Copies of this chain bind each other. A is one copy, B any other.
Amino acid sequence: MVISYGPIVNYFKGQNNLVMKILIIGGVAAGAKTAAKVKRMLPDSEVHIYTKDDFVSYSSCGMPYYIAGDFKDWQNLIVRTKEEFEKSGIHIHTHMLVTKILSADKKIMIKNTDTEDWQFQEYDKLVIATGAVPVMPDFANIESEKIYTLRTLSDGIELKKGMESSNHITIIGGGYIAIELVEAFVKNKKKVTLIERSPFVLSMLDEDISSLVQDYILENSDGLVKIINEDTVSEIISNDKILDIITTKGYGYETDMVVVASGVKPVTDIASDAGIELGVTGAIKVNSRMQTNLSDIYACGDCTEKVNMVSEKPVWVPLGSTANKEGRVAAINIAGGAEDFEGILGSSVLRYRDLNISRTGLTEKEAIKSGYDAVSVTITKRDKAGYMPEVKNITLKLVADRRSHKLLGAQAIGCGDGDKRVNTVSVGLLQGITVEELIDADLTYSPPFSTSIDILISTAQILKSKLN
């Protein structure tokens, strides 16, 4: 069957004829989404994206798979080219660094990083979508060209070139990007040393889960990967083409290149300079309409603070899926609509070779930190009927609140289809589902897809017993 890309009817098109000048700072996910959506809704308005980078509208999340060689051309990562934007009437200005927001005058100050010229642009509405940048550890001679980060598309293209001429690569950090890069490097038969300050990689998971992930990585890395936990890099010494790594605990070795993947921070400097309020997490504070405290200034994407819909607390979780949704909500509100972004659940998924790793809501440690009397159950079960040839295992952890019996979160790992179960929980979390209610879920069953009582239901049944 050829399933065509069916027409997605744009019900908003030309709904009203507001004519405005809309400036957007940043154009990766949130900025590009805002631009595209607002231009469709207000076709007569002027829409500009300013970015200091080389590219707009690309999938950052896809870069590890480009580096791995899962596809050959980085241009596949471009969601919409500059030419396509211009054709739809959206003006793209690359190598243009916005240095100041003059909110009283409704102007921004922009530096052309090629010519060093300056200019001012007026706006009716301004959207800050400046994203996030890597946190650079505080070690010596960070200037070496053998030290990479992975944030922009240009970073990704450079990092792949660097990988190709290296034999041994050090990754500092053990989060999502770090693990995706381990996969990419192992696929390219590179030796990898990963240095992570926590006892296990993926410290955003509970340790009963993250320890299993770390075991899997070590056992499925063709002998190429070494993980150093509970240690940090204290010094990097550049010796011609080789880097000497020295850790805080005194371990030393040589490596060909280093990738710093020890976290990111929101880009908020021009916003806070302009008097835009930041939240407790340090990211830009916005309401559910994506408005900042200054009138006609919106912010969306990785530079903004979000609300965790389970704990109802402010959090900062920068993710591409959220950025896209926030961009859409900002655009609708700018265009005179009324749309709210209610928050996030911290849902995420990543792959390491055949292992799927996913989470939603709160982990047990996050739940305890948020003040819940958390009760959890972790079980391992087959993802489909045991007699099916493609059967795999999943380990699922559910966390609930002892008092209300409300589900707080789920984590799943395994070579089986775990993220399916986590997404199922995430919709329940939206509405405050209890463990008892989850047991009533009528999930699809057929031997190639699940066991007759799915692991999600089994785990909820055991959790219910534990709660009572």
Residues of A whose CB lies within 8 Å of any CB of B are 1, 3-6, 8-9, 11-12, 29, 59, 61-62, 65-66, 70-71, 76-77, 176, 212, 215-216, 219-220, 309, 319-325, 328, 341-351, 355-356, 358-360, 378-381, 385-389, 393-395, 414, 417, 419-420, 422-428, 430-431, 433, 437-438, 440-450, 452-454, 457-458, 461-462, 465-466
Can you sample 20 A-B contacts with CB below 8 Å?
A: A1-B215, A1-B216, A3-B380, A8-B462, A61-B445, A176-B446, A309-B440, A319-B445, A321-B445, A321-B452, A321-B453, A349-B446, A351-B448, A351-B449, A417-B417, A417-B420, A419-B444, A420-B420, A424-B426, A431-B437
**Could you tell me the distance between the alpha carbons of A104 and B350 in the complex, rounded to whole angstroms?**
61
**Please, which residues of chain B bring their CB within 8 A of the CB of A381?**
5
* Contact between A438 and B444, CB atoms less than 8 A apart: no
**Could you tell me the distance between the alpha carbons of A215 and B445 in the complex, rounded to whole angstroms?**
24
* Contact between A444 and B70, CB atoms less than 8 A apart: no
| Number of copies of chain A assembled together | 2
* Contact between A465 and B11, CB atoms less than 8 A apart: yes
* Contact between B5 and A380, CB atoms less than 8 A apart: yes
**Could you tell me the distance between the alpha carbons of A322 and B453 in the complex, rounded to whole angstroms?**
9
- Give min CB distance, A33 to chain B, whole Å: 9
- Give min CB distance, A184 to chain B, whole Å: 12
- Give min CB distance, A462 to chain B, whole Å: 6
**Please, which residues of chain B bring their CB within 8 A of the CB of A62?**
385, 387-388, 447
* Contact between A428 and B426, CB atoms less than 8 A apart: no
* Contact between A3 and B423, CB atoms less than 8 A apart: no
- Give min CB distance, A183 to chain B, whole Å: 10
**Please, which residues of chain B bring their CB within 8 A of the CB of A449?**
349, 351, 356, 419
| A1-B216, A433-B427 known; A388+B11 contact, CB < 8 A | no
Additional A-B contact list (12), CB under 8 Å, known A3-B394, A6-B378: A3-B393, A5-B393, A9-B465, A65-B388, A320-B452, A325-B457, A360-B442, A360-B444, A419-B420, A427-B427, A427-B428, A428-B430
Q: Which of B378, B379, B444, B466 contacts A423 (CB 8 A)?
A: B444
**Could you tell me the distance between the alpha carbons of A358 and B341 in the complex, rounded to whole angstroms?**
30
**Please, which residues of chain B bring their CB within 8 A of the CB of A359?**
444
Q: Which of B76, B176, B387 contacts A71 (CB 8 A)?
A: B387
**Could you tell me the distance between the alpha carbons of A427 and B428 in the complex, rounded to whole angstroms?**
6
Most buried by B among A348, A385, A394: A385
- Give min CB distance, A287 to chain B, whole Å: 15
**Please, which residues of chain B bring their CB within 8 A of the CB of A324?**
452-453
- Give min CB distance, A161 to chain B, whole Å: 19
**Could you tell me the distance between the alpha carbons of A457 and B3 in the complex, rounded to whole angstroms?**
19
| A62-B387, A387-B65 known; A443+B426 contact, CB < 8 A | yes
* Contact between A446 and B355, CB atoms less than 8 A apart: no
